[in-house]
Amino acid sequence: MKSFIKFIIVAFVLINSTLLFSQNYNGINLDTVKSSKYDMGKMWTFDYPPVDYFSETYGFKPTKEWLDNVRMAALRFASYCSASFVSEDGLVMTNHHCGRESVSQVEVEGENLHDAGFLAMKLEDERKVPGLFVDQLVKIIDVTKEVQDATESGKTADEKISNKTKKISEMEKKLGDESGFRVQVVTLFNGALYSAYYYKRYGDIRIVFAPEDQAGFFGGDPDNFTYPRYNLDCTFFRVYDDNGKPLKTEHFYKWSVNGAGLNEPIFVVGNPGRTERLNTMAQLEFRRDYQYTDVSNMLDLMVNTYTEIIQKNPDKAKELNNQLFSFANSQKVYKGMVKALNDPYIMAKKRDFEKQLRAAVDSKPELKSKYGKAWDEIADANKELSKIYPELYSYSANARTSSKYFVAADKLVGFAIK
């Protein structure tokens, strides 16, 4: 009986310790945590820059001309990196890891440019990179009404999705044909806003300079991301025009001799893939408990596997390093997201944000009628998804980790179902 009582006491202490931990984190009562305006970061698009916020916070109010110049000096490098014009003669700068694949592509027999580096001393020494392109965002227009009207014309959820997809495809082709630019309709704020982005694509890109890996990747992966000032984390390319001449560009970032000054605002401009600020708690918890954790574990496995293969077969390093670095780059991203999703304080802020947002929606009958059940429906959908996700994930074909034959088979089955 005494043992049983002791067990009950121990269990009670453990339960209360868990409750205490769930309510307190580093001395903070999580139930009292409140969200604030910029908890989820300060990333904005050029569609609606927060000019007043910049002015109030930094004493700097950018003009439309300044914003246009900054936007058009930035570039989307292929489909996977950011870059920028850094001279009036079409010189482009990007990160070292963004140029790795290009370095491999321009090597000739007998060269190992990853070990030796590359430098074109004259224009005629610059080497064209097959298939490489950069995109310059030259124009943005709001197409929200067109897309939303087409979406709402559907009677069922499937019809709405089909109508939206069809409308976006039609608009991209129509606007592209009319302008001569590549047009991409971008969904923002979960469909509250749709913008048509007009891109000017340059397809004659030649490599100018690439440091040897020892300098560009100095310190290995952690130092490369944490302390980039200690390595030569750059690669330079040049854009050529249709006549085979270095491109003359009006928009480019000028080099600063003195660098940034004390208390001077610094803006980082690039081409991010997405943010997930408006995801619900249910969605974030699903990512934490299933999706992102599984992807993070998979990337750990791939990094470890490739590292082991290269260690055992040094002659394969040149062939496999690009893929290893690609996995390692993604590995850091997912580790960071999983860490944040497991941070009780961050999640408490998000929980309070959602509570306030739901209260604001519920306070307006029209919004409550239309959106009041959304959070519960999303939670139910994620609960159902969690039941099948392990099997779904196990059988999915991923181009980065699966055999090309499995990927091809998966696509064929998809076509057959459609």
pLDDT digits (tens, 9 = 90+) for 332-366: 889 999 999 999 999 999 999 999 999 999 999 99
Residue of 201, 173, 206 lying closest to 105 (CA atoms): 206
Name the pLDDT band for 228 (thresholds 50, 70, 90).
low
Which positions ≥6 away from 225 have C-beta within 8 Å? 332
Percent residues over pLDDT 70 in the chain: 92
pTM of the model: 0.83
pLDDT digits (tens, 9 = 90+) for 100-140: 899 999 999 989 999 999 999 999 999 999 999 999 999 99
In angstroms, the CA 389 to CA 378 distance is 15
Instruction: Please determine, for residue 22, whether its predicted confidence score (pLDDT) is greater than 90.
Output: no
Name the pLDDT band for 260 (thresholds 50, 70, 90).
confident
Hey, is 94 helix, strand or coil? strand
* pLDDT reported for residue 393: 84
Neighbours of 171 (CB within 10 A): 18
Q: What is the mean pLDDT of residues 24-50?
A: 86
* pLDDT reported for residue 58: 92
Instruction: Please determine, for residue 21, whether its predicted confidence score (pLDDT) is greater than 60.
Output: no
Q: What's the Cα-to-Cα distance from 227 to each of 218, 233, 260, 331, rounded to whole Å?
A: 10, 10, 17, 18
Instruction: Please determine, for residue 94, whether its predicted confidence score (pLDDT) is greater than 80.
Output: yes
Instruction: Please determine, for residue 223, whether its predicted confidence score (pLDDT) is greater than 80.
Output: no
In angstroms, the CA 371 to CA 374 distance is 5
Q: What is the mean pLDDT of residues 57-63?
A: 93
Instruction: Please determine, for residue 53, whether its predicted confidence score (pLDDT) is greater than 50.
Output: yes
pLDDT digits (tens, 9 = 90+) for 154-210: 999 999 999 999 999 999 999 999 999 999 999 998 889 999 999 999 999 999 999
Instruction: Please determine, for residue 319, whether its predicted confidence score (pLDDT) is greater than 50.
Output: yes
